[in-house]
Amino acid sequence: MDGGPARERGRLELASTDPRAQPLIQLNFATDPEDLRRLVEGVRLAWQIAHQPQIARHTHHVALLSEEAISSDEALAAHVRATVSTQFHPCGTARMGPPGDPMAVVDQHCRVHTIQTCAWSMRRSCPPSRARTSTSPPS
């Protein structure tokens, strides 16, 4: 599966000259056929992974999508168009601080204080530089 950048670009426009007015935002998700194909492929892959025995035994069912929808490119594309959205995903969320700070996970050099304060995503919580791509790829 290709995880490259989207081909379509959204638009941001001023709604008026009033600086308090919300801008007009058009995200254009799934408007480019190749972007839509990749989104459909990604949803289908995620559904297939969720149905693997090692994962499925921990779930009751996978919400929203039936096997019929997954097997139909048209139905899955309609689902993607209706549900695709964006979300805020903060990065660099591991608190830095001195060893005496009970909320601090790392010091100013990203050295872990104790294993109890360390989460599995530690290596992504202390980025050495600002992210230029998705901050939530598979570990």
Buried b (16+ CB within 10 A) or exposed e, 29-55: bbeeeebbebbbeebbeebeeeeeeee
Return d(Cα 111, Cα 92) in angstroms, integer.
14
Which residue out of 51, 89, 109, 113 is catalytically annotated?
89
- 89 carries an active-site annotation: yes
DSSP state letter for 51: T
Tokens 């001195």, residue located: 98
Amino acid at 130: R
Active site residues: 89
